[in-house]
Amino acid sequence: MSTEQRRLAGRYALDAPIGRGGMGEVWRATDTVLDREVAVKTIDLRRVPDEAGAARFEREAQVTAAMSHPNVVTVHDTGVEDDTAYLVMELLPGPSLADRMAEGPLPVDEVADVGRQVAAALEAAHERGLVHRDVKPANLVYAADGRVRVLDFGITQLGESAAANQALTATNTVMGTAEYLAPEQATGGRVDGRADLYALGCVLFALLTGRAPFSGPTPVATMMMHATDEAPDVRDLRPDTPAWLAGLVGSLLAKDPQDRPAGAGAVVAAIDARRAPEAAAGRTTVLPAAGAAAGAAATQRLDRGTPPPPPPPTGPARVGPPPGGREPQRRSSAGIWALAAVVAVLALVVGWQLLSGGSDEQGQEASSTPTSTTAEPAPTSEAPEPTTEAPEPTQEEPEPEPEPTEQAPDPAPVQDALGRTDTGLNDAAQADQADRQTVQDLRQQLRDVESALRDGDAEGVAEARDDFVESYREAVSDGEVSPEAAGTLDPVVQDLSNAVDAYVG
């Protein structure tokens, strides 16, 4: 591109190329109107052999712009100028996961966190009938907020649009990257969202071990390995991988799509279920700062200090048995009888001394010669009365059993309801049954609910839900959402409200 062509739409100044892919070139650019840096993806339409490539590029712009999700790259603008189609996106500082992996395997905690974020993005895409088809480390990039963004939907498949699929992603046409292709994708078969789950399993395997599960001498050989060879156990290469994470990777890499997790939401739930106990134990995951040098330690685990042991008891020794032990109870009973016997013997000795006290005095008066070289203390005038009752043994009350820990509420139903509501709003806007700005504002409120849900803030989830429902009802009342759209959206919004009520408890 010449110097004169380095400005698109009169506002996007292309500064320098930063990447190239199958669908075009990516530039670091400046939006001269808003004075901000952006990324601009371009495709030279003159080099496209047919209309399919241009159609896929246009479709990427449409589907990515429709995705409002914290783990999907944000699209600002799109258009065609002369023979150049362009897509304007947020500029991600990186690093990409390919950059991180180049330094070696990642910490286990960071891998789990990446898996959770990518699965969340795929869940949102699959709910809209979209299949990414090229999930790989190079398409996963850290953003300025520390989150992972999924980008490059350039070869995405509209899962529910058969006509478009036949023209753009026909059977026996292989698209994607060989190391991360599902078996059905590698053999040119029809694919759905479960192909993305297989690719996610390949990504997690690569991040944990430093290499993809299959790598042959040629792309074709690699593809055939996906179709025929059993996936290696990730623990053979990364022994410190937790059993649950190794099991998740293994299920994602199942040859038969039916044997993989039911959906991306199930992957999110599986990771959340394992990470919740870690959070309760006081361990915190620290993500790499945006723009930090690739290869920096991205995850740290902070363990709480061990509390000091309790001080030794200062009171009398326990006589009663500890709770729950039968043998200590038998030993304690024997001790009680022994104590009673000792007390009885002491009582007899004291009685004998009282009886023999008078005889000793009389013998001392008759003779001044002591009968013993050991001086005996003079008997007291009053001897304590012997007691025949043994002290009652004290028995400590058994410690109460700890109450079972209440399980954290399941966020999955709320996530599902959020996805359906977001899809319904988007469909209403696309069908011109709702004001687009109003829909955009409502979808942002859904993101607030999702953010509070992700933070585990039940009160925040309820408050954000209430704000959304109030705004939605106002939009319906003001006619910004048509009665036709409201007829479809009202049950979905009610399902969301019920799911939040169940989550909050």
3-state secondary structure 126-144: HHCCEECCCCCHHHEEECC
- Determine the pLDDT at residue 385: 53
Cα separation, 97 vs 136, in Å, equals 8
Token pair, residue 119, equals 């699965």
Cα separation, 503 vs 505, in Å, equals 5
Cα separation, 423 vs 406, in Å, equals 33
- Residue 412's pLDDT band (boundaries 50, 70, 90)? confident
Q: Would you call the peptide bond into 95 cis, given omega within 30 degrees of 0 as the criterion?
A: yes
* DSSP-derived 3-state class of residue 412: helix
Cα 181 versus chain centre, distance:
25
Cα separation, 361 vs 210, in Å, equals 100
pLDDT value at 417 more than 80: yes
Q: What is the pLDDT of residues 431-458, one digit of tens each?
A: 888 998 898 889 889 988 988 888 888 9
pLDDT value at 425 more than 50: yes
The structure's pTM equals 0.54
DSSP structural state of residue 306:
P
Looking at the DSSP bridge assignments, the partners of residue 131 are 157
373, HSE (Cβ side, Cα atoms, 13 Å): 0
Nearest to 446 by CA among 424, 474, 468: 468
- Contact between 150 and 139 under an 8 Å Cβ cutoff? The reply is yes
* DSSP-derived 3-state class of residue 411: coil
Q: What is the pLDDT of residues 269-310, one digit of tens each?
A: 999 998 766 554 444 343 443 333 333 333 332 233 333 344
Burial 113-127 (b: 16+ CB within 10 A, else e): bbbbbbbbbbbbbbb
Which residues are documented as binding site? 41
Residues with catalytic function: 134
The separation between the first and the last C-alpha atoms of the chain, rounded to the nearest angstrom, is 59
Cα separation, 140 vs 335, in Å, equals 71
- Determine the pLDDT at residue 288: 41
- Determine the pLDDT at residue 338: 52
Q: At a CB cut-off of 8 Å and minimum separation 6, what does 253 contact?
A: 198, 201, 202, 205, 213, 231
Between 148 and 151, name the one with better pLDDT: 148
* DSSP-derived 3-state class of residue 329: helix
Cα separation, 371 vs 388, in Å, equals 34
- Contact between 125 and 67 under an 8 Å Cβ cutoff? The reply is yes
pLDDT value at 472 more than 60: yes
Token pair, residue 300, equals 């740290």
DSSP structural state of residue 453:
H
Which residues are documented as binding site for ATP? 41
Cα separation, 241 vs 108, in Å, equals 7
Burial 50-62 (b: 16+ CB within 10 A, else e): eeebeebbbbbbb
Amino acid letter for position 446: L
Between 360 and 57, name the one with better pLDDT: 57
Cα 216 versus chain centre, distance:
33
- Determine the pLDDT at residue 319: 36
Question: Going by DSSP bridges, is the β-strand pair 130-131/157-158 parallel, antiparallel, or unpaired?
Answer: antiparallel
Q: What is the mean predicted confidence (pLDDT) over 2-15?
A: 79
Q: How many helices (H) and strands (E) does the chain have?
A: 15, 10
Cα separation, 360 vs 364, in Å, equals 6
Neighbour tally for 195: CB within 10 Å: 26
pLDDT value at 85 more than 70: yes
- Determine the pLDDT at residue 186: 84
pLDDT value at 236 more than 90: yes
- Contact between 72 and 130 under an 8 Å Cβ cutoff? The reply is no
User: What crossing angle do the helices spanning 243-252 and 108-127 adopt, rounded to 10°?
Assistant: 40
Helix runs in 6-107, H state only: 51-66, 97-102
Cα separation, 205 vs 223, in Å, equals 17
- Contact between 175 and 133 under an 8 Å Cβ cutoff? The reply is yes
Which of 347-351, 425-429, 443-447 is least confident?
A: 347-351
pLDDT value at 22 more than 80: no
Q: What is the pLDDT of residues 165-206, one digit of tens each?
A: 333 333 334 456 899 999 998 888 888 999 999 999 999 999
Q: What is the mean predicted confidence (pLDDT) over 474-482?
A: 90
- Determine the pLDDT at residue 360: 44
Cα separation, 14 vs 345, in Å, equals 106
- Residue 396's pLDDT band (boundaries 50, 70, 90)? low
Q: CA torsion angle for 349, 354, 358, 360 (degrees, to 10)? A: 30
Looking at the DSSP bridge assignments, the partners of residue 88 are 40, 77
Cα separation, 203 vs 267, in Å, equals 14
